[in-house]
Chains A and B, each alone.
Chain A
Amino acid sequence: MKHFWLKTERGRSILLTTLVLLALWEAGVRLSGVREFMLPAPSKIVMEFFDSPGYLLLQSLDTLRTTVAGFALAVVLGVIAAIGIVYSRFLDRTLYSLLVAMNAVPKVALAPLFVIWLGTGAAPKIAIAMLIAIFPILIDTVLGLKSTDPEMLDMARVNQASKAKVLWKIRFPNALPSLFAGMKVGVSFALVGTIVGEFVAGGSGLGHVILVAQGSFDTPTVFVALALLCVLGVVLFKAIEMVEARLLGWHASQRGPAGEIAAVGS
């Protein structure tokens, strides 16, 4: 990471912009005399973190775990449902239409219901994270699976390919770019779902930290939690991008500017 910040033009400008904004924030708070519980200075937020780093990191880890669990569940269920929808006209008409209608419901509003059903442990939080993350994943995967080149399917047919082979060797790899697009949106949604779950179900996690700190007007702690959430969000997003770059080296979206890989011979 150090290399990135110092070596690339982009890295340097990101670093510089961040430092300038933090400096302005710090100066603004000190000069205006705004009270700490309204807006703490960055230095105060950093100090707040180092006051109890172990506790805060543990809560971050808890949030991370819930998010990853909810997200993983969303990917597995979303992909399975998408395959079902693409292969079955019945499911396409029933499940897909139903899911699209359900997508219109603000899913955070369902959070209290999950607490009633699943109690106050990790389960309701994971369920909410999953429920919010599954929609972009499902919808993008359906789109990806459906947009397979029909001639490619002819090619498979004349080669006597079974339905299962067409799915795994043609349709699914073909849908991967869409699946990853859905996963990138989904992982941020999963984090939102987790925080909502922690607000409602309580107990642990950064959402819970924020809620408790708010109760005692401990604004610096709220900001620490927000900063940690920001880090979590970026890390999760980058992790998916890395897997994507690994798996989709063949896809146009993963290649640099045109002409980087020149055709050889004739």
Chain B
Amino acid sequence: MAGFLEVKGLNKIYRSKRAPVHALRDVDLDIPEGEFLCIVGPSGCGKSTLLRCIAGLEPISSGRLALQGSQIKAPPKNMGVVFQRDLLLEWRNVLDNVLIAAEFHGLDRKSHEGRARELLSLFGLKDFIDRYPRELSGGMRQRVSICRALLTDPQLLLMDEPFGALDPFTRDELNSELQRTWLATGKTVVFITHSISEAAYLGSRVVIMARNPGRIEKIIPVELERPRGLDVRDTARFAEYVVEIRETFRELGIYKG
């Protein structure tokens, strides 16, 4: 049986006035249900493009891209996306920012309010429900956007460098909150990052991408038991994974040192 999310021979070519740009070349990826998959790579390797294709925001040039057996042509219904920027609506308070997901889906606001409150308190925002985005810090804003993505209880969660703009402390906090949520719900997560240690900490597998053209170089399974505490990053086994990923980038010429 094919995987939950199936990517086979995917190519994405941007036509431009000069030579066409090969953003993704022959990408193969089989993601089983419930996996936490991390994709790591330098900028320009097409990792965000791949995520946008999976999200149905970008048409593919060739190949197969299917969620639960059906071709992705438009944004699938049972999917939530957390973007690099929090994309909160400044004129709505925290609760209404989360509930907009229900409004957009054409679902009843009332019946989702309880779940929205639940999610917000799970992410430590219980006391900020009626605050406006401008009153929140960057970490809190991104938490709200995660709650928005989770509101409709999607099976697939796509995250595009969601913690890239946060300070290391907030990033650590959110990493462990995210792992906790994932363990509790068993959602399938595709998580994009440019941080090697973040990828190794969160991922069940780490996909290493290279650029020119954007492609998958290597897939490394991370066999550290869950739940992983933040201190797992100080262990020798964790270090081995980090070294292996970094070594791969070095061979690709991405690390010059």
Contact = CB atoms under 8 A, between A and B. Distances in A.
Contacts of B57: 154, 157-158
A155 B87 contact: yes
Interface residues of B, number: 32
A4 interface: no
Contacts, number: 72
A117 interface: no
Interface in A142-167: 149, 151-152, 154-162, 165
A162 B91 contact: no
Interface stretch (A20-28, A221-229, A231-239, A257-265): A257-265
Nearest to B127: A265
Contacts of A263: 135-137
A173 B70 CA distance: 36
Interface string A205-230: 00000000000000000000000000
Interface stretch (B20-28, B78-86, B178-186, B243-251): B78-86
A162 B107 CA distance: 12
Shortest 6 CB-CB contacts between residues of A and residues of B: A159-B104, A161-B104, A250-B91, A158-B75, A250-B90, A158-B81
B104 A251 contact: no
Interface in A137-195: 149, 151-152, 154-162, 165, 169-170, 173
Given A169-B104, A173-B89, A250-B91, A264 B137 contact: yes
A8 interface: no
28 contacts: A152-B89, A154-B55, A154-B57, A154-B81, A158-B75, A158-B81, A159-B101, A159-B152, A160-B105, A160-B106, A161-B104, A161-B105, A162-B106, A165-B103, A165-B104, A173-B91, A250-B91, A251-B91, A261-B134, A263-B135, A263-B137, A264-B128, A264-B131, A264-B135, A264-B137, A265-B140, A266-B137, A266-B140
A188 to B, nearest CB: 27
B134 A155 contact: no
A169 B103 contact: yes
A154 B83 contact: yes
Contacts of A169: 89, 100, 103-104
A161 B55 CA distance: 14
A266 B139 contact: yes
Q: Chain A CB within 10 Å — which of B75, B103, B137 has the most?
A: B75
Interface of A: 149, 151-152, 154-162, 165, 169-170, 173, 250-251, 255, 261, 263-266
Contacts of A250: 90-91, 132, 134
B134 A160 contact: no
A159 B100 contact: yes
A54 B57 CA distance: 65
Q: Among the interface residues A155, A158, A264, which one has the most CB atoms of the partner chain B within 10 A?
A: A158
Interface string B93-112: 00000001101111000000
Contacts of B140: 265-266
Interface string B1-29: 00000000000000000000000000000
Given A265-B137, A265-B140, 5 more contacts: A154-B55, A154-B81, A158-B57, A159-B152, A160-B104
B213 interface: no
Given A155-B81, A169-B100, A251 B90 contact: yes
A158 B134 contact: no
B170 interface: yes
A251 B134 CA distance: 9
A162 B101 CA distance: 12
Most buried by B among A159, A169, A173: A159
A156 B100 CA distance: 9
Contacts of A265: 128, 136-137, 140
A164 to B, nearest CB: 11
A182 B81 CA distance: 35
The residue among B79, B90, B152 with the most chain A CB atoms within 10 A of its own CB is B90
